């Protein structure tokens, strides 16, 4: 027995193992630590990217910080040395704020929620915070300090909604169709992020006519979609990662290096190698850290745009620092409750609240469902999972801490799926991510230098794996198929999990309401609105037992796949009387979500849980 095996056994049998329920979740210490490391690596980009985005607001910097005070010294594009020096200090503080808020939220999720889910400032809400609320250099309708105050209040509202059980009850009300489609939609969203240039391998680029198209072009063939910031603060900044290609598609060395990383991950995973994702990330990272070649992330020859205002030379200069001293002198505790007298501040608060609510709640539940893919029964039939209350409170506390550190709302990260796929099943995965965030406080220059085309392949791979849930959706029922499709499609197309959930819920309500009205109308005016399909329920009853290899229906002509039976399910359903006299292929009962409504369908047409 190796020391690794002994260590795993000792921890599983200890107080720590029992607290984190490690034996029941079929995991061990080494697996959890590896999963937490993978999760951190795939989301480490947020450390520098979030700071770069939010620092465009100028933070608390204003006229007193200008070298030459005047009304124009704080406008976007200013060359005032004093103001720009202040903004640079804000950017450094925001690196610390991003890490601290992420670290605290991950710790609470790990210890309290016992889920392998990491948290950090939201990539969507930080852009909304910067470009729509505060504006570039404070040119928006709400000041930086007032916006942070709105986020602070939002965090407390989140905690109240969690403690009172509102969030859990809303999730319990979600139809199974939407629960499944949310997971699949997040998977597609992950893959879409990983395919882009800003946070992925760059296969997808902007297009003026079709919005997106094939990319993968080298830097000298890239043209930025937005060339400069505008005074309203609504447009992305100069050096934005949004670009379109002027020829030379799929000629980028970084794109092909990212694809190589994806191939390595897939091959290793197909062979059952534990740690396939982290090996792929490190392979691409180490090659990208070598300066002087076409796929270099560091050095003067690297002209890649990997965030606001970052060139290869700037990244190399930052990388060489190795160690950084954390500070919150500019962004710490910058709340201004007096600014809440503005109507725009409350509008921002409401927007933060509902977008963050659907985004975080949807992601958290989908990640719990993803854990349930490997641990059947982890999420019960009432859509409740262990320590749910603590998990829901984690992001609320993270939001509060984030606002005190000067950053946008904290949310559950869909990149957590990479750690779950790597074997993460408990809060130790989140605690490991917390540990790496703590290390990042001091070694930010190193950990923030992981290139986006190293983590992009992991997002694509995990996104593909999360699409497994689409086979469990009843695509034959239009009333369920359309809401499910909208949930899946809207997430990547609007770049928002929240909008996908909202679209699915609203369309499902409309579909079911119309169905109810037409069913009532049909009963009164037979045939006028069209007749719904009916099934003949006459005949003998049979019982589907969990784990049964065959259900002897009509001389064993019909089979039930045991993989499609939920654990503990044993439903007595009537056998349709209108069975075919001659059966040439295997069939099975399709019951669907609304038991019992059986119909006979070819087995090859359906592959979902009964």
Q: How far apart are the C-alpha atoms of 304 and 606, rounded to whole Å?
A: 46
Q: How far apart are the C-alpha atoms of 478 and 60, rounded to whole Å?
A: 52
Q: For the chain, how many residues are written?
A: 610
Exposure b/e, 473-482, CB count within 10 A at least 16 = b: bbbebeebbb
Is this structure's pTM higher than 0.75? no
How confident is the model over 131-158, as pLDDT tens digits?
A: 677 877 777 788 888 889 988 998 999 8
> Checking phi first, is residue 375 left (phi over 0); if not, alpha (psi -120 to 50) or beta?
beta
Q: Is the torsion defined by CA of 546, 548, 550, 552 positive or negative? A: negative
| CB atoms inside a 10 Å sphere around CB 484 | 28
Q: Three-state DSSP class for 91?
A: helix
pLDDT number for residue 118:
92
Q: How far apart are the C-alpha atoms of 217 and 258, rounded to whole Å?
A: 13
Asked if 134 contacts 143 with a C-beta cutoff of 8 angstroms, the reply is yes
* 153 Cα distance to chain centroid: 24
As a three-state string, the secondary structure of 259-307 is HHHHHHHHHHHHCCCCCHHHHHHHHHHHHHCCCCCCCCCCCCCCCCCCC
How confident is the model over 527-561, as pLDDT tens digits?
A: 555 554 433 333 333 343 333 333 333 333 333 34
Where is 212: in which H helix or E strand? strand 211-214
pLDDT number for residue 526:
57
pLDDT number for residue 569:
38
Q: How far apart are the C-alpha atoms of 537 and 589, rounded to whole Å?
A: 12
Cis before 602? omega within 30: no
pLDDT number for residue 529:
52
Tokens of 69: 């005070």
Asked if 384 contacts 168 with a C-beta cutoff of 8 angstroms, the reply is yes
- Per DSSP, 572 falls in state E
Q: Which residue has the tokens 């992020």?
A: 193
| CB atoms inside a 10 Å sphere around CB 350 | 12
pLDDT number for residue 224:
66
Cis before 185? omega within 30: no
Distant-in-sequence, close-in-space partners of 388: CB < 8 Å, separation ≥ 6: 113, 168
- Per DSSP, 196 falls in state B
* 78 Cα distance to chain centroid: 35
Can you list the residues of the chain whose pLDDT is less than 50? 227-239, 306-309, 532-610
pLDDT number for residue 537:
31
Q: Is the torsion defined by CA of 340, 342, 346, 352 positive or negative? A: negative
pLDDT number for residue 138:
78
DSSP secondary structure of 47-93: HHHHHHHHGGG-TT--GGG-SS-STTTTSTT---HHHHHHHHHHHHH
DSSP secondary structure of 518-530: HHHHHHHSTTTT-
Measured between alpha carbons, how far apart are the two ends of the chain, in Å? 43
- Runs of H (alpha helix) within 137-252: 144-163, 166-173, 176-195
- Runs of H (alpha helix) within 406-496: 416-421, 427-447, 452-466, 478-494
Using a 10 angstrom Cβ sphere, with 0-12 exposed, 13-18 middle and 19 or more buried, the burial of residue 74 is buried
Q: How far apart are the C-alpha atoms of 189 and 272, rounded to whole Å?
A: 26
């Amino acid at each position: 027995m190796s020391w690794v095996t002994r260590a795993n056994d000792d921890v599983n049998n200890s107080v720590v193992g029992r607290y984190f329920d490690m034996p029941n979740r079929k995991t061990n210490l080494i697996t959890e630590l590896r999963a937490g490391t993978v999760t951190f690596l795939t989301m480490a980009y947020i450390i520098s990217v979030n700071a770069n985005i939010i620092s465009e607001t100028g933070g608390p910097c204003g006229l007193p910080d200008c070298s030459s005070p005047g009304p124009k010294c704080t406008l976007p594009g200013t060359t005032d040395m004093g103001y720009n020096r202040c903004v640079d200090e804000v950017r450094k503080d925001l690196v610390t704020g991003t890490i601290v808020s992420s670290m605290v939220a991950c710790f609470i999720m790990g210890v309290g929620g016992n889920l392998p889910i990491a948290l950090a400032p939201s990539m969507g809400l930080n852009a909304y915070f910067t470009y729509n609320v505060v504006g570039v250099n404070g040119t928006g309708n709400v000041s930086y300090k007032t916006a942070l105050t709105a986020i602070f209040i939002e965090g407390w509202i989140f905690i109240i909604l969690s403690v009172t059980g509102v969030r859990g009850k809303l999730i319990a009300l979600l139809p199974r169709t939407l629960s499944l489609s949310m997971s699949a939609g997040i998977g597609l969203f992950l893959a879409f992020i990983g395919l882009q240039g800003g946070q992925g391998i760059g296969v997808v680029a902007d297009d003026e006519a079709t919005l997106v198209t094939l990319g993968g072009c080298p830097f000298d063939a890239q043209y930025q979609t937005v060339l400069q910031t505008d005074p309203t603060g609504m447009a992305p900044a100069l050096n934005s990662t949004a670009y379109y290609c002027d020829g030379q598609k799929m000629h980028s060395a970084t794109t092909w290096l990212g694809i190589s990383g994806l191939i390595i991950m897939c091959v290793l995973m197909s062979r059952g190698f534990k740690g396939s994702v982290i090996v792929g990330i490190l392979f691409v990272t180490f090659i990208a850290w070598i300066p002087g070649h076409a796929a270099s992330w560091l050095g003067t020859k690297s002209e890649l745009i990997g965030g606001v205002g970052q060139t290869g030379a700037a990244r190399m200069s930052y990388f060489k620092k190795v160690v950084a001293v954390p500070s919150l002198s500019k962004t710490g505790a910058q709340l201004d409750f007096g600014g809440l007298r503005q109507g725009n501040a409350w509008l921002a608060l409401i927007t933060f609240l509902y977008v963050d609510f659907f985004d975080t709640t949807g992601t958290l539940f989908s990640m719990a469902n993803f854990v349930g893919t490997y641990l059947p029964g982890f999420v019960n039939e009432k859509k409740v999972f262990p320590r749910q209350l603590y998990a829901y409170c984690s992001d609320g506390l993270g939001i509060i801490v984030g606002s005190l550190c000067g950053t946008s709302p904290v949310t559950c990260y869909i990149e957590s799926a990479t750690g779950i796929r790597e074997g993460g099943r408990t809060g130790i995965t989140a605690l490991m991510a917390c540990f790496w965030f703590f290390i990042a406080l001091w070694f930010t220059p190193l950990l923030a230098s992981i290139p986006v085309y190293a983590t992009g392949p992991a997002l694509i791979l995990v996104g593909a794996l999360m699409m497994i849930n689409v086979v469990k959706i009843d695509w034959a029922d239009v009333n369920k198929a359309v809401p499910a499709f909208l949930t899946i499609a809207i997430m990547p197309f609007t770049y928002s999990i929240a909008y996908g959930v909202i679209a699915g819920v609203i369309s499902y309500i409309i579909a079911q309401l119309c169905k109810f009205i037409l069913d009532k109308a049909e009963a009164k005016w037979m045939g006028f609105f069209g007749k719904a399909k009916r099934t003949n329920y006459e005949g003998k009853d049979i019982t589907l037992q969990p784990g049964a290899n065959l259900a002897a229906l009509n001389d064993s002509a019909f089979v039930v796949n045991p993989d499609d039976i939920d654990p503990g399910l044993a439903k007595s359903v009537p056998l349709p009387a209108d069975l075919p006299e001659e059966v040439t292929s295997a069939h099975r009962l399709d019951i669907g979500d609304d038991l019992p409504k059986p119909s006979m369908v070819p087995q090859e047409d359906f592959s979902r849980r009964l």
